[in-house]
Structure 1
Amino acid sequence: MKRRFGRFLGILVAGMVATSLAIPSFADMMMSGKTGMLSGFPGHNASGKASISKDGMGKTFLELTGIKVDKVPDGRVYLAKGGDYKKGIELGKLEQFTGDVRFPIPKNTMLDDYDSVVIWCKKFDVGIGKATLGMSGMK
């Protein structure tokens, strides 16, 4: 009897753990396929790829890959609407201006609300780079 209960308890716990793992929904998988190419605002240089991705734990990230961005003293990265950083959320400070950078996107962010990425210099109140996010397929 104790053996059966122990086995049952083990199966129950294993099932609970398996169902609590983050399994992305179809909508999440589609959103994680959004990508765009960075370009500079007038007078500034920015290039590279911006994409939204999910890791195996269900956390969502903005990934900037192969970037080359003008160095600015207070560059901030935003997930934006219509290319307007004021209609977006700040993801973090850009401290690396070449290569690959990853910013976590807050858990309850409604990704459908945003269609672009903006790199903005707060100190000089000027846009540095932007990318319009479009679908590239599931990732």
Structure 2
Amino acid sequence: MSRLSRRTVVPALLVLVIVAGIGLSFFQPWKAFTDTTVNEALPTASQSMAGQEMKGKNGMKSGEPSAKDMGPREVAEGNFVSHEHGTSGMARTVRLADGGQVLRLEDLKTSEGPDVRVYLSPRGADAVKAGLGDGAVQLGKLKGNRGNQNYSVPAGTDLSKFRSAVIWCERFSVSFGAADLAPAKG
């Protein structure tokens, strides 16, 4: 009888260990108890612009900077609202002096997750609970669940077509939180 029990128990334990390993790797529950803080400065211009002198039409140095040389300009902003996880902070879209664009997350506080990404969505913050919508643009993996961070927006992207910035979990297809992007004042 003890031999029969051992033949039953050992395979059952082996299956339990395998299922537990798969579950742990999929859900990554330890991330509920960890934080990653990122504090990046707002970029001012691409490296290709660094060190170049401003020149006028005649090739001489110009005393007047062009609009392109004035520095970063805020395009839109909004505060995060929570969806599946508590999320707070601000999202800002910024046009850089060299024409590049970034999504900047400031004072972000959210949960870590197994596969969390940052998106721009054509849907409003409340509507992304049901999905990102056609035409959403992924900007990359979330660098940290706390702090200030920048995400490059692909060249040629028309920011006016996007209504929200979204912290999205790819693995479970849920929004941790989103921010409606309203035109910046000033």
Report the TM-score range of the alignment, normalised by the length of the smaller protein: 0.7 to 0.9
Aligned residues: 120
Moved >4 Å (runs of 4+): none
Residue type of the alignment partner of 1:63: R
Equivalent residues of 1:22, 1:57 under 8 A apart: no
Cα distance in 1 between the residues matched to 2:154 and 2:89: 23
Tell me if 1:90 matches 2:154.
no
2:75 alignment counterpart: 33
In structure 2, how many angstroms separate the alpha carbons of the residues matched to 1:80 and 1:38? Answer: 14
Q: What does residue range 1-139 of structure 1 map to in structure 2 within 5 Å?
A: 12-14=58-60, 23=68, 32-41=74-83, 43-83=84-124, 84=128, 85-87=132-134, 88-138=136-186
What residue ranges of structure 1 are gaps of 5+ in the alignment? 1-10
Q: In percent, how many aligned pairs have the same letter? A: 30
Q: Secondary structure at the match of 1:23?
A: helix
Larger Rg: 2
Structure with greater contact order relative to length (CA < 8 Å, sep ≥ 6): 1
RMSD: 2.6
Q: Quick one: distance in 2 between partners of 1:102 and 1:14?
A: 35
Query: What displacement does 1:131 show?
Result: 0.5
What are the superposed Cα offsets for residues 66-103 of structure 1, whole Å, 9 maximum, x if unpaired? Answer: 00011111111111111342331001110211000100
CA distance in 2, matches of 1:105, 1:35: 15
What TM-score do the two structures reach when normalised by structure 2? 0.57
